[in-house]
Amino acid sequence: MTDPWAEWLLHRRDGDDPDRRREVLAFLAPIRDRVLAAAAIGPADTVLDVGCGDGLLGLAALDRAAEVVFSDVSPALLEHCRAAAGGRGRFVHTGLPDLAGIDDAAVDAAVLRSVLMYVPDKPAGFRALHRVLRPGGRLSLFEPVNRFSREPAGRLWGYDVSAVPELALRVTRVARPDPGGPILGFDERDLLAAAEAAGFVELRLTYEASVGDSVGPPFRTMLDIAPNPTSPTYGEVLDRALTPAERDRLIAHFDAHPTRHHRSAVAYLSARRR
């Protein structure tokens, strides 16, 4: 069976397009730096990268810490990080909500990016993070708040589809995510409450929201891209919802009207184990 996490991070996130890959990495670099800075990593620390993925956080932490523990539910991504780490680091096949395989009070800092959004039981995830940290240990994370990004009527993937409502409706029926599921069913207040209930102190949460218009690349460049590991690519959604002629008509509409309206929100949260 294909590993959806590795397949997305290594291929479907950017559609194997080198230019898009560079754009994604440029977007993620300041997020990485903020998360690591908030973790206040010292040269004697052991750092746990939870849901390490392609190693964005853990690889950058190697030169800041005494040891970095890479953890992920994907064996393929752990091997990817192992190769990139060049013989440094420790690698554990585990994930939230329990972090089985990571001992109690074993690490000085835990960092994660866009991991809790896939965890149905987020309070249990925070309890596991609290468990593995030593007294005084730091937690630093970044999460998209996707509930904020729900689109109004007349929009599909940010595009104005008021001129092609029948096509947009059929695509929406195929592409619509579960509003109560783990990706959409929480906001920044839920993260803060779960962290506090788990026993964390000195909590700091920064919430950032952005609303506006932008002109992106032609939609055809997005056909091989999936918005997250649990989703089909945009092209696969169109194939499921429309006939070939309808698919071409909708793509032509997107390409002719490239302005996209975006609504996005993110949360940075840091805390300490007492």
Closest CA to 218 of 253, 264, 262, 242: 253
Six-digit token string for 236: 């696969």
User: Looking at residue 152, what is its pLDDT?
Assistant: 86
Which CATH architecture describes the domain 4-273?
3-Layer(aba) Sandwich (3.40)
Q: Is 180 exposed, middle or buried (0-12, 13-18, 19+ CB in 10 A)?
A: exposed
pLDDT of 150: 85
pLDDT digits (tens, 9 = 90+) for 183-241: 999 999 999 999 999 999 999 999 999 999 999 778 998 999 999 999 999 999 999 99
As a whole number, the mean pLDDT across the chain is: 96
| Unique residue bearing structure tokens 């780490």 | 85
**Please, are residues 57 and 110 in contact by the beta-carbon 8 Å criterion?**
no
Q: Residue 75: is its pLDDT beyond 90? A: yes
Kind plus residue range of the DSSP H or E element containing 17: none
2-23 per-position pLDDT tens digit:
799 999 999 999 999 999 999 9
* pLDDT tens-place string over residues 120-158: 999 999 999 999 999 999 999 999 999 999 888 899 999
The answer to whether the beta carbons of residues 109 and 48 sit under 8 Å apart is: yes
Round to the nearest angstrom and report the end-to-end CA distance of the chain.
42
